[in-house]
């Protein structure tokens, strides 16, 4: 019976034992509050919160376990536990861990940013993901199951850090089982964390939004993944069961730790409990089996013994029990420690006890420790017996936190209040006073300014008092809560007084309405109004004057703009406020919209009237009594006062002259500021318009400057404005470096591939020579047999022309390969040749030879090259033969005719025309009732015929008339108009189809349209865009599409049944459609000669505009290299070389044409074509050299010239570098001209600026990844240019070189290079786009190069094996005697001399040749012969002769061969014949 079966049957018994173990060893979880401080009243919310906290605590324990284990492995300190997740994100720690257990997978030098310098400076970089990948490869290399692996975003983007920690735990267990790392600790219940740590981790886990992995199931999952030794595991479990009888926990622990037992989480400290519980479990299981009547002999052993699963479950339960015991013990100790510290005086000690994780307390704040001590001490003292329990402590903490919160709220409210009223923020002050912490009475919004002023004044008094008392930090004094309450109360009381005062004044104004002087007098006597000097006898005067004043006020108020219901008043304590008698509102700040003039009289105005009236009455009364005295006194007083005022004023002005001047300045400043503020208000009011004006001005300036930049000769001053556009970002530098790196690697690969190709060519020749030698040998043998029969005859070898395996034929073949490769890839030669040769032969040569050279464009490469030829030929024709734009339409350009014929004739392009126009043409043809006859005479005759057929009587109208006469008949004109309407409808469908399918047109025809447009613009710059587009339309529609519409059967656009043809009506209908479309495309309207078609003119105008847009869109297309994905590396990355199929006759005729027109075709004496033609020489007259001229053969095209990627080989590299240096100089130093800048001295500030730039550049150069980049000749940065003077010397030196090459002119201020810089600025965006395209294309090129390299390497290996096979097959032709392993042949030197094989032997006369014996013998190396000799008993030095080398010498035309060591000279051909006969022939 299996182990699992036994465990299933006895699972209940083991569960009982676990319960017993729980009762024996576990302690109660809840205790009486008096004894241990724990209350058993737990709510559901508390339980959920406790569960979440427990989950966060367990995860923190797993973090601590992972951190300690990694530290033990890599021997580095990883910092705090809460920071470990962030520290793992860069992968450095994990890569080091991978190096620890798999150094061959993760070399230490491959760890990116191992010192964390880059990470500490700039944070995470995408290259840090390489470290993560190395770690995962290391884990995969040791076989860790993939289910544990996190993804890169889980770690790098911190999306699932628990999965990462889970993987580290699984890795630790896996490595421990493999013996490569220590065991990971189990810190659950042992590790301690603060409440803040647990709370922070809870929030982090909530942010992850995922469930925590089951860490306790890692062992089980690994066991399933590991190939477990079941036999060893079974034996280990049996041993554990038997050892339990010995009652020795240490022996039991060793058995449990046995690796073959596959038990996890064995804790040494729990060994005694393991032994006891396992013993009880086994005993219980045995008793259960015996009770069921089972015997050990008949039953499975696991009916009585514990299974592996049961043992592991018991171990896990014991570990959990111990963990809980430890946690409870710590909890009781923590509560006791808190009670002890509460009776002490050290708040810090109490705080430390409260923050212990085991105390299970929440919301412990470090800042409240003093209150905690105060409150807990009071609570402890109030409880007479026992300690405070955890709920009581928590309640005290909450009370202390609440009290502290209130204090902090008050402090915060005071701070906010002071910040606002010190900053004169009235609204902020009023809002701050509403804070609940102040507990203020009702606050009045209209008194906010008064609150502000009162608080400020009160604080100023306190600070002034403190300053007088000598307090140094008097400015830090702030108002207390009580002082603020007093201030607010005082303001509220004052507000009541002011309101009573305002209401009294309003009452005075209101009494005047009733026109009762006594009531007015009563209102003036109200004490709250504070009106003084009121006399009862003046009541009538008061009433009249005040009423008059109110009348004046009303008139002023009506003229004023604003609300005149507000009264500006001044309170008795001289406080200004505003009161609205209608709404009873009172405010301290002038209301928005309030007028400066009110129809109410203020208190001061009423007081002034009362005082004046009273004074006048008293004065009049006194004057009446003392008139004479008054008059005398007035005169004396006035004189005295006038003199005094003058003296005082004069003295005052002299004493305060500076103050007077200052007042004048302040007043003038006020006026200026007022004017400025008014200007600002005006600008703010019109901000949108101002922004638009500024944008227009700036745009105008930028456009103006940019136009100057694009001029023929932009100045240095213009360049200054745009130099910043040339600044290169880090991305630019990185892309440039990558581009240079790829190009360098491509050149290396190209040269390597060229070397492989050269080896393959050599092997080709060797194989050919070996095969030729074998064939020749067979021919000789066959001929010799025939000679024996016929006694005569001569064998004539067949000639294979260029394919003949001889050096001369081979060289000629290679030269023709170079010639036609040059013709194919350099279209300028054929383009010039087409217009140099006689024109009657041009078309024939184009169709027979030129299209053959390009294989009729059968693939993208040849189509691209053919388009290049058409482009160059069209340019030549436009330059030579087109005198005006209209010549394209009126003439018959050769190239356009060939292009249209080619693209209309090839099958793929026929299908394009068929899909484009076929459906519409077929629709017209299928309509049998359609008749597009619009000629007046034909319509007239058809009308007469129809009338005669309908009436059966001859028509009375004349049959022969003129068109004008025919059009006089309404029936004719109506028929024509109806036909025109149908025609227009059909033509519109044709035009919409043509215009709507511009992208379906063949790329080649659109590209030629673009080239035609470009060439015409270059030659005729003054021509309008409309004229040029008409010429383009002549190509696209008239020549390309129009014939197809007119005669679709000729171009296979429609499918006709066998034997059927188009009828005349169909042709006429299509012809009418094509005619009107052509008129619309060329804007040819119908004049008076065809006035019956004048109604079509409006349609033609509309259609013409659409055609112009179509021609513009069709002639705007992507570059040819981008379309065909061609670049300078395309040919060198092809697996198979290009091949054309051409006859020798076409080769010789092309060769002769090039020789006849060599001067016209080539540009200079060093033109590559001259070199190729010189190598070919004259056209071979011997037909044997070319072979059968009428038979085509495949000619493989090869490039004679290697790809030249040397940067310094081209002077343009120096030109670019000089531009770079000049830009650096212009950024630092300025001047009127560039020459003046070069010869002027730089100041100190400019020198310092350049040094800073130079230092940054030097640092950037030192950071380059390879020495090759640092030493690159194309590097634009020169470390030696340490000063501006050296920079200028460098520039001048380069300019001298460029001047020698006539690229710059010093007399024109080096305008050429300045213009080039301007173009670089304009094209900077295009450069970046082009660079990105180059990077993409060059990546594809690298991939193709690698494929080609692999192909060549395999070919070389195959050829080498084939050569060895050929040589071995040759050796099989000879015969040898039985038992002989080597074949030999002996001759005397005399006999070899007579045969002609031996020519001479140095220092040996011919007469002595008889005494010389020469022996030829094979060697162990196939194809190698050993030649030895003897002269009068003395041995001659042995010579090794390689048969392949002899064939090579024969191929190269070498007649004799001298062996330098022995001085022997032999005839190569006869020696080959001899070796063939003796060793490879037939005896």
pLDDT band at 821 (very low <50, low <70, confident <90, very high): confident
Question: Would you state the pLDDT for residue 104?
Answer: 92
Give the helix/strand (H/E) hosting 896.
helix 894-905
Question: Is the Cβ–Cβ distance between 1389 and 1429 less than 8 Å?
Answer: yes
The candidate with the shortest Cα–Cα distance to 265, out of 62, 7, 51, is 62
Please check the confidence at residue 1444 and state whether its pLDDT lies above 80. no
Binning pLDDT at 50, 70 and 90, where does residue 665 land?
A: very high
pLDDT in tens, 250-296: 888 888 878 777 787 788 888 888 888 988 888 888 888 888 877 76
Average confidence (pLDDT) over 536-546? 82
Tell whether the model's pLDDT for residue 1276 goes beyond 70: no
Reported confidence tier of residue 678, pLDDT bands at 50, 70, 90:
very high
Query: By C-alpha distance, which of 1342, 1375, 23 is closest to 753?
Result: 1342
> Which of the listed ranges 457-461, 1105-1109, 1374-1378 does the model predict with the highest average pLDDT?
1105-1109
What per-residue confidence (pLDDT) applies to 315?
86
Q: Pairing relation of β-strands 585-587 and 1398-1401? A: unpaired
Q: pLDDT at position 168, please?
A: 93
Ranked by mean pLDDT, the top range of 912-926, 1170-1184, 1303-1317 is 1303-1317
Q: pLDDT per residue over 591-626, tens digit each?
A: 776 777 777 777 778 888 888 888 888 888 877 888
Q: What is the mean pLDDT of residues 425-446?
A: 78
> What pLDDT does residue 20 have?
36
Average pLDDT over residues 57-67: 90
* Cα distance between residue 1144 and residue 203, in whole Å: 86
> CA torsion 254→257→259→265, rounded to 10°?
180
> Region 1306-1315: what's the mean pLDDT?
86
Residue 628 CB partners (closer than 8 Å, separation 6+)? none
Q: Which pLDDT score, from 0 to 100, does residue 1267 have?
A: 45
Average pLDDT, the chain: 77
pLDDT range class, residue 137, cuts 50, 70, 90: very high
Task: Please check the confidence at residue 764 and state whether its pLDDT lies above 70.
Answer: no
Predicted pLDDT at 324: 81
Q: Are 855 and 1140 in contact (CB under 8 A)?
A: yes
Q: What is the pLDDT of residue 788?
A: 38
- pLDDT of residue 98 exceeding 90, the answer is yes
In this predicted structure, what is the pLDDT of residue 13? Answer: 38
In the block, residue with structure tokens 């060599």:
1158
Give mean pLDDT, residues 1406-1411: 77
**Average pLDDT over every residue of 520-528:** 79
Please say if the pLDDT value at position 468 is more than 50.
Answer: yes
1158 or 851: which leads in pLDDT = 1158
Rounded Cα distance between 337 and 1483, Å, is 117
The stretch 408-421 carries a mean pLDDT of 81
pLDDT greater than 50 at residue 951: yes
CA–CA separation, 815 and 1169 (whole Å): 11
Residue 1284 contacts residue 1246 (beta carbons within 8 Å): yes
Contact (Cβ atoms closer than 8 angstroms) between residue 758 and residue 750: no
Residue, of 1167 and 1203, whose pLDDT is higher: 1167
Which residue from 1457, 1419, 1421, 1415 is spatially nearest to 1436, judged by alpha carbons? 1415
Phi first, then psi: what are they for 1399, rounded to 5°? -95, -50
The answer to whether 576 touches 545, Cβ cutoff 8 Å, is: no
- The torsion of the CA quartet 863, 867, 870, 874, rounded to 10 degrees, works out to 170
pLDDT (average), residues 1440-1460: 73
By the 10 Å C-beta count (0-12 exposed, 13-18 middle, 19+ buried), 1048 is classed as: buried
pLDDT score at 6 = 34
Q: How far apart, in whole angstroms, are the C-alpha atoms of residue 421 and residue 428?
A: 8
Rg (CA), the chain: 56
pLDDT at 1274: 40
Number of residues in the chain: 1483
What digits encode the pLDDT tens for the residues 1316-1357? 888 888 877 777 777 777 777 677 777 767 776 777 677 777
- In this prediction, residue 672 carries a pLDDT of 93
Per-residue confidence at 1058, pLDDT binned at 50, 70, 90? low
Q: 284-298, 901-915, 1066-1080, 1152-1166: lowest mean pLDDT where? A: 901-915
* Overall average pLDDT of the 1128-1141 stretch: 61
How confident is residue 297, by pLDDT bands cut at 50, 70 and 90?
low
Q: Kindly state the percentage of the chain with pLDDT values over 70.
A: 80
Q: 1012: Cβ–Cβ under 8 A, 6 or more apart, which residues?
A: 874, 878, 888, 896, 1031, 1032, 1035, 1115
Is a pLDDT exceeding 60 seen at residue 1064? yes
Q: Would you call 1385 helix, strand, or coil by DSSP? A: strand
Mean pLDDT value across residues 502-513? 76
955 vs 102, which has greater pLDDT?
A: 102
The continuous run of DSSP H or E covering 577 comes out as strand 576-580
Is the model's pLDDT at 95 over the cut of 90? yes
Question: For residues 392-422, b (16+ Cβ closer than 10 Å) or e, as one string?
Answer: bbbebbeebbeebeeeeebeebbebbbebbe
Q: What is the Cα–Cα distance from 598 to 554, expressed in whole angstroms?
A: 7
Quick one: average pLDDT of 1287-1291? 86
Mean pLDDT of 140-151: 90
- When comparing pLDDT for 844 and 1287, which is higher? 1287
- Is pLDDT above 50 for 38? no
Mean pLDDT to the nearest integer, 1193-1212: 60
pLDDT, tens digit, for every residue of 364-395? 877 777 887 888 888 877 877 778 888 888 88
What is the per-residue pLDDT across 1226-1253, written as a single tens digit (0 to 9) for each? Answer: 888 888 888 888 888 888 888 888 888 7
Distance CA 1145, CA 802 (A): 12
Q: How far apart are CA 286 and CA 10, in angstroms?
A: 9
C-alpha distances in angstroms, 1194 versus 164, 1141, 1142, 1179, 1201? Answer: 63, 4, 7, 20, 22
State the pLDDT at residue 880.
Answer: 84
Lowest mean pLDDT among 590-604, 683-697, 879-893: 590-604
Q: Which residue has the tokens 């005399």?
A: 1390
Q: What is the pLDDT of residue 1271?
A: 43
Q: Which of 236, 275, 234, 237 is nearest to 253 (CA)?
A: 275
Position 135 scores a pLDDT of 93
pLDDT value for 136: 92
DSSP string across 1044-1099: HHH-GGGGT-S-PPTT----HHHHHHHHHHHHHHHHHHHT----GGGGGGTTHHHH
* Tens digits of residue pLDDT in 959-980: 778 877 878 888 888 888 888 8
Q: Which of 11-25, 224-238, 317-331, 924-938 has the lowest mean pLDDT?
A: 11-25
Please report the pLDDT score of residue 232 as a whole number.
Answer: 78
pLDDT reported for residue 751: 57
Q: Give me the pLDDT at residue 1275, please.
A: 46
Reduced to 3 states, what is the DSSP secondary structure of residue 99? helix
- Residue 981 pLDDT exceeds 90: no
Least confident of 174-178, 1161-1165, 1197-1201, 1220-1224: 1197-1201
Residue 1384 backbone dihedrals phi, psi, to 5 degrees:
-135, 160
Residue 1123 binned pLDDT confidence (cut-offs 50, 70, 90): confident
pLDDT at residue 866 is higher than 80: yes
CB burial string 549-579: b at 16+ within 10 A, e below: bbeebeeebeeeeeebbbbbbebeeeeebbb
> What is the per-residue pLDDT for 40?
43
pLDDT band for position 498 (50/70/90)? Answer: confident
> How far apart are the C-alpha atoms of 851 and 862, rounded to whole Å?
10
pTM over 0.75: no
Q: How many Å apart are CA 819 and CA 822, to the nearest integer?
A: 5
Query: In whole angstroms, what is the distance from residue 39 CA to residue 56 CA?
Result: 23
Assess whether pLDDT exceeds 60 at residue 698: yes
Q: Cα(935)–Cα(942) distance, rounded to whole angstroms?
A: 11
Kindly indicate the confidence band of residue 1268, based on its pLDDT and cuts at 50, 70 and 90.
very low
Describe the chain by its helix, strand, coil percentages, rounded to 5.
70, 5, 25
Closest CA to 67 of 169, 175, 178, 150: 169
Query: What percent of the chain has pLDDT above 90?
Result: 6
């Amino acid at each position: 019976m299996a182990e699992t079966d036994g465990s299933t049957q006895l699972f209940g018994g083991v569960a009982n034992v676990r319960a017993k173990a729980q009762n024996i060893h576990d302690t109660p979880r809840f205790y009486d509050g008096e004894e241990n401080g724990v209350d058993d009243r737990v709510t559901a919310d508390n339980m959920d919160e406790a569960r979440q906290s427990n989950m966060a605590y367990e995860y923190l324990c797993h973090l601590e376990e992972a951190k300690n284990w990694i530290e033990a492995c890599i021997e580095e300190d990883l910092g705090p536990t809460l920071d470990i997740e962030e520290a793992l994100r860069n992968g450095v720690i994990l890569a080091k861990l991978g190096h620890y257990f798999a150094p061959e997978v993760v070399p230490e030098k491959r760890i990116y940013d191992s010192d964390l310098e880059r990470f500490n400076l700039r944070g995470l970089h995408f290259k840090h993901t390489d470290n993560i990948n190395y770690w995962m490869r290391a884990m995969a290399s040791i076989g860790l199951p993939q289910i544990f692996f996190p993804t890169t975003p889980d770690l790098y983007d911190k999306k699932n850090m628990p999965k990462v920690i889970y993987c580290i735990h699984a890795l630790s267990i896996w490595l421990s089982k493999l013996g490569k790392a220590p065991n990971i600790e189990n810190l659950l219940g042992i590790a301690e964390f603060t409440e803040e740590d647990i709370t922070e981790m809870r929030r982090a886990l909530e942010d992850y939004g995922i469930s925590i992995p089951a860490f306790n199931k890692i062992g089980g999952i690994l066991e399933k993944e590991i190939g477990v030794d079941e036999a060893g595991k079974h034996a280990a479990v049996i041993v554990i069961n038997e050892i339990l009888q010995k009652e020795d926990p240490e022996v039991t622990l060793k058995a449990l730790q046995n690796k073959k037992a596959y038990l996890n989480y064995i804790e040494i400290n729990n060994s005694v409990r393991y032994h006891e519980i396992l013993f009880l479990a086994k005993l219980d299981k045995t008793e259960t089996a015996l009770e069921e009547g089972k015997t050990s002999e008949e039953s499975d052993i696991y009916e009585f013994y514990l299974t592996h699963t049961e043992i592991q479950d018991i171990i896990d339960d014991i570990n959990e029990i111990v963990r809980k015991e430890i946690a409870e013990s710590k909890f009781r100790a923590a509560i006791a420690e808190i009670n002890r510290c509460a009776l002490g005086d050290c708040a810090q000690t109490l705080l430390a006890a409260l923050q212990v994780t085991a105390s299970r307390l929440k919301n412990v704040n470090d800042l409240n420790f003093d209150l905690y001590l105060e409150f807990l001490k009071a609570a402890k003292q109030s409880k007479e017996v026992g300690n405070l329990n955890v709920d009581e402590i928590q309640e005290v903490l909450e009370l202390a936190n609440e009290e502290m919160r209130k204090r902090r709220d008050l402090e915060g409210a005071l701070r906010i209040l002071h910040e606002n009223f010190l900053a004169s923020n009235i609204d902020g002050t009023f809002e701050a006073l509403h804070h609940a912490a102040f507990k203020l009475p009702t606050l009045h919004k209209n008194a906010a300014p008064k609150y502000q002023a009162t608080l400020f004044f009160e604080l100023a008094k306190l600070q002034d008092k403190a300053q007088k008392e000598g307090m140094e930090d008097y400015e830090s004094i702030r108002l207390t809560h009580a002082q603020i309450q007093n201030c607010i109360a005082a303001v509220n009381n004052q507000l009541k007084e002011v309101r009573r005062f305002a209401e009294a004044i309003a009452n005075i104004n209101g009494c005047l309405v009733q026109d009762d002087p006594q009531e007015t007098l009563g209102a003036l006597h109200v004490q709250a109004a504070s009106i003084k000097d009121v006399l009862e006898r003046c009541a009538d005067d008061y009433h009249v004057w005040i009423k008059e004043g109110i009348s004046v006020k009303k008139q002023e108020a009506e003229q004023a703009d604003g609300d005149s219901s507000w009264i500006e008043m001044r309170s008795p304590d001289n406080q200004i406020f505003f009161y609205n008698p209608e709404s009873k509102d009172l405010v301290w700040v002038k209301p928005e919209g309030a007028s400066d003039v009110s129809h109410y009289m203020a208190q001061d105005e009423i007081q002034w009237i009362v005082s004046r009236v009273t004074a006048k009455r008293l004065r009049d009364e006194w004057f009446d009594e003392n008139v004479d005295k008054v008059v005398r006194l007035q005169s004396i007083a006035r004189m005295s006062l006038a003199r005094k005022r003058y003296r005082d004023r004069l003295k005052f002005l002299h004493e305060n002259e500076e103050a007077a001047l200052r007042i004048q300045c302040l007043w003038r400043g006020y006026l200026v500021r007022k004017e400025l503020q008014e200007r600002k208000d005006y600008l703010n009011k019109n901000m949108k318009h101002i922004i638009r004006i500024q944008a227009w001005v700036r745009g105008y300036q930028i456009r103006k400057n940019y136009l100057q930049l694009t001029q023929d000769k932009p100045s240095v001053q213009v360049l200054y404005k745009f130099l910043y556009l040339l600044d290169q970002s880090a991305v630019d530098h990185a892309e440039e470096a990558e581009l240079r790196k790829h190009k360098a690697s491509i050149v290396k690969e190209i040269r390597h591939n060229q070397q492989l190709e050269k080896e393959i060519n050599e092997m080709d020749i060797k194989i050919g020579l070996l095969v030729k030698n074998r064939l020749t040998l067979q021919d000789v043998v066959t001929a010799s047999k025939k000679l024996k029969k016929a006694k005569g005859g001569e064998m004539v070898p067949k000639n294979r022309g260029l394919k003949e395996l001889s050096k001369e034929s081979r060289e000629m073949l290679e030269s023709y390969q170079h010639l036609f490769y040059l013709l194919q890839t350099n279209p300028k030669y054929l383009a010039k040749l087409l217009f140099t040769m006689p024109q009657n032969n041009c078309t024939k040569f184009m169709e027979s030879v030129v299209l053959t050279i390009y294989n009729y464009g059968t693939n993208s490469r040849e189509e691209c090259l053919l388009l290049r030829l058409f482009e160059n030929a069209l340019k030549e024709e436009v330059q030579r033969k087109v005198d005006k734009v209209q010549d394209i339409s009126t003439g018959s350009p050769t190239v356009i005719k060939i292009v249209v014929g080619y693209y209309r004739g090839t099958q793929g392009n026929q299908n394009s025309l068929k899909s484009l126009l076929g459906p519409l043409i077929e629709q017209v043809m299928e309509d049998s009732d359609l008749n597009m006859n619009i000629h007046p005479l034909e319509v007239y005759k058809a009308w007469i015929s129809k009338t005669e057929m309908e009436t059966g009587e001859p028509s009375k109208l004349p049959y022969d008339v003129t068109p004008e006469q025919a059009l006089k008949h309404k029936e004719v004109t109506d028929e024509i108009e109806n036909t025109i309407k149908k025609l227009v409808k059909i033509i519109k469908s044709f035009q919409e189809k043509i215009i709507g399918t511009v992208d379906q047109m063949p790329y080649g025809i659109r590209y030629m349209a673009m080239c035609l447009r470009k060439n015409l613009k270059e030659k005729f710059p003054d021509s309008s865009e409309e004229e040029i587009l008409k010429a383009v339309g002549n190509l696209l529609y008239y020549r390309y599409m129009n014939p197809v519409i007119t005669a679709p059967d000729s171009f296979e656009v429609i499918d006709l049944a066998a034997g059927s043809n188009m009828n005349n009506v169909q042709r006429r209908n299509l012809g009418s459609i094509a005619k009107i479309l052509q008129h619309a495309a060329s804007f040819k309207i119908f004049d008076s000669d065809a006035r019956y078609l004048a109604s079509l003119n409006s349609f033609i105008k509309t259609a013409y505009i659409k055609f112009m847009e179509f021609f513009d869109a069709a002639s705007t297309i992507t570059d040819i290299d981008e379309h065909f994905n061609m670049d300078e590396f395309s040919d060198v990355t092809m697996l198979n070389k290009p091949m054309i199929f051409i006859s020798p006759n076409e080769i010789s005729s092309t060769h002769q044409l090039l020789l006849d027109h060599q001067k016209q075709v080539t540009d200079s004496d060093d033109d590559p074509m001259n070199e190729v033609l010189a190598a070919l020489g004259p056209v071979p007259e011997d037909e044997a050299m070319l072979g059968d001229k009428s038979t085509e053969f495949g000619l493989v095209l090869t490039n004679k010239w290697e790809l030249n990627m040397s940067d310094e080989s081209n002077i343009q590299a120096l030109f670019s570098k000089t531009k770079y240096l000049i830009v650096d100089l212009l950024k630092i130093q300025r001047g009127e001209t560039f020459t003046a800048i070069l010869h002027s001295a730089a100041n100190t500030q400019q020198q310092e600026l350049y040094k800073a730039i130079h230092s940054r550049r030097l640092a950037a150069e030192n950071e380059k990844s390879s020495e090759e980049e640092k030493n690159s000749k194309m590097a634009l940065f020169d470390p030696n240019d340490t000063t501006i003077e050296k920079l200028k010397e460098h520039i001048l030196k380069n300019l001298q070189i460029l001047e020698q090459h006539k690229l710059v002119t010093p007399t024109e201020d080096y305008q050429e290079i300045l213009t080039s810089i301007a173009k670089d600025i304009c094209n900077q965006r295009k450069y970046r786009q082009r660079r990105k395209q180059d990077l993409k294309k060059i990546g594809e090129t690298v991939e193709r190069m690698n494929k080609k390299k692999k192909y060549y390497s395999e070919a070389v290996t195959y050829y080498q094996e084939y050569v060895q096979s050929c040589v071995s097959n040759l050796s099989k032709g000879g015969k040898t005697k039985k038992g002989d392993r080597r074949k030999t042949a002996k001759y005397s030197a005399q006999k070899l001399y007579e045969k002609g094989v031996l020519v001479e032997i140095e220092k040996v006369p011919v007469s002595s040749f008889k005494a010389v014996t020469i022996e030829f013998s094979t060697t162990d190396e196939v194809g190698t012969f050993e030649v030895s000799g003897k002269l009068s008993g003395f041995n001659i030095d042995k010579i090794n002769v390689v048969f392949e080398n002899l064939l090579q010498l024969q191929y190269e035309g070498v007649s004799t061969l001298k062996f330098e060591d022995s001085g022997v000279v032999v005839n190569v051909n006869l020696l080959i014949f001899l070796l063939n006969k003796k060793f490879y022939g037939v005896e």
